Structure 1
Amino acid sequence: MSGATQSDETGKDAPRPLHSASIAATLEAEIVAGTYAAGEKLDEQSLTKRFGVSRTPIREALHELVARSLADRQPYKGVIVADISRERVEQMFEAMAEVEALCGRFAAERMTMGERVALEELHATMERLSQSGAQDDYDAANTRFHQLIFDGTRNVDLTGLANTLRLKLAPFRKFQLQSGLRMERSHAEHEEIVQALLDRDPKRTEKALRRHLMSAAREVLTRMT
């Protein structure tokens, strides 16, 4: 795997060491895409050779995969790729849709003027990212977009629940944004969410967020067939 480079003392470019987050992101994408089969072992020694790192970042990356329910740690076997069925994905998106819908209802009533302006500005930035096909940047901005809504609920427990579910779904949500057409649809769905929030309309916001998550689920499930 080729990585970023940095100049060493001789002035030559040397590979930058990969961090656990980068390794986890790569493995997540491969698991979601089906490169790794359910039940396959994620061997630490093989992964250290593949990524050219010590065991510490590999172990941290594997811990992240387990936390996101993409892998299971089994006694005497190590870390095994989880069996991610269509039914399981549907359940996660269903739960996320209801939680985000509730967050939207509260945020429509409780977000400050400054928070609504920040959301609108971020939405405008995301339009440019969508048009340029900057998938990674759009994905990062998408996380901030939804986090602004979570924070707007003014409810610590609800925000915590939303973030826990979002963490588990993050690889799937990123996966479904790999299509330029899906990014465009996502942005159009965000437009409905933003307008409902700016209008302080709880019911419209709730409905728009639920539809947004169902649309993302449909894209993921279509790619899994």
Structure 2
Amino acid sequence: MSTPVSPSLVRERAVRPRRRRGPVRAVTRTEELRLQIADDIVRGRIAPGTALEEMDIAKRYGVSRTPVREVIRDLAASGLVETRPHRSALVAKPSIERLRGMFEVMAELEALCAGQSALHMTPAERGQLQAIHADLGDLTRRGDETNYSFLNDRFHTFLYSGAHNDYLAEITLATRGRLQPFRRAQFRNLGRLALSYAEHDAVVTAILRGDKAEAAAAMRAHILTVEHAYERYAESV
């Protein structure tokens, strides 16, 4: 049986928040470089075991060595690169078994965040969540994969903060950082943007109703679907 919706919450949902907050922020060159290298590794263009020489990478992508160092550190945190003392980093590739384990943990952490957000988000935060979700809908209709991916990060991060548990937000962000290249890759599957948005909609609806169990279940299902979408993508490249 579904949880009754209080009249005050119905009124809250009926008031649509202002959505015009300006354009999605521009991607920095370092972020762009990280995405390019991560994409080349995930697609197999840079093979596992390849040494990542800073000078070679800088020349290949037309950048200085400074952003290359930062990107290699980020990719090491994601498990795509193995760093070695006093030697060049090597391209790694987590096994499917390890990735599945990481996604399982991610699903439970995000489910906890969503459930706690259903209980603890303020009316103002719920309005902001609706606005982000609406903007994701606009990007879905335009087929804007790049900006959807960045705003999707903001959507999930907002739910972490909405749980009002700093430690939970901290460990969830850290885990997401390790999975980020694989989470982004799934958007290259045909029709994935629309499906992602629909999955988000189930989460948002449950949070606005204050339904902890349903919000957690919807988010858990969403993250496990992301895992399956990535595996389908990986099989196709």
TM over 0.5: yes
Q: What does residue range 126-145 of structure 1 map to in structure 2 within 5 Å?
A: 126-145=136-155
Indicate which of 34, 56, 61 corresponds to 2:71.
61
Query: Any unmatched runs of 5+ in structure 1?
Result: 1-17
Q: 1:12 maps to which residue?
A: none
2:93 is aligned to 83
Q: In the TM superposition, what is the alpha-carbon distance from 1:179 to its structure 2 partner?
A: 3.0
1:106 aligns with one of 96, 101, 116: 116
Deviation at 1:223, TM superposition (A): 1.7
Report the 3-state secondary structure (helix = DSSP H, G, I; strand = E; otherwise coil) of the residue aligned with 1:198. Answer: helix
Aligned match of 2:220? 210
Per-residue CA shift, 1:26-46, capped at 9, x if unaligned? 101111222222111112121
Q: Which runs of 5+ in 2 are unaligned?
A: 1-27
In the other structure, the counterpart of 1:117 is 127
The residue number in structure 2 matching 1:169 is: 179
CA contact (8 A) 1:130 1:180 kept: no
Instruction: For residue 180 of structure 1, report the CA deviation from its aligned partner.
Output: 4.5
Structure 1 SS opposite 2:188: coil
CA offsets per residue over residues 94-141 of structure 1, 9 Å max, x none?
Answer: 110000011111111000011111111111111110111100110111
1:191 Cα shift? 0.8
Give the aligned partner of residue 26 of structure 1.
Answer: 36
Report the Cα offset of residue 54 of structure 1.
2.5
Matches within 5 A, 1:150-169: 150-169=160-179
- Using the TM superposition, name which of 61-70 and 146-155 deviates more: 61-70
Q: CA deviation at 1:53?
A: 2.6
Quick check: 1:189–1:212 contact (8 Å CA) kept in 2?
Answer: yes
Shift of 1:21: 2.6
Alignment: residue pair count: 208
Deviation at residue 76 of structure 1 after TM alignment: 5.0
Question: Match of 1:50?
Answer: 60
- Range 50-59 or range 92-101, more displaced: 50-59
Which one of the candidate residues 65, 69, 73 is aligned to 2:83?
73
Aligned equivalent of 2:209: 199
Residue identity in the other structure for 1:96: M
Using the TM superposition, name which of 167-176 and 150-159 deviates more: 167-176
Q: Deviations over 1:123-179 (max 9, x none)?
A: 111111011110011011111111111001111100001100111111111110123
Percent of aligned pairs with the same amino acid: 35
Normalising to structure 2: TM-score of the pair?
Answer: 0.84
Give the TM-score taking structure 1 as reference length.
Answer: 0.88
Who is 2:232 aligned against? 222
| Equivalent residues of 2:79, 2:93 under 8 A apart | no
Structure 1 residues 155 and 20: alpha-carbon distance in aligned structure 2, compared to 1, 3 A threshold: same
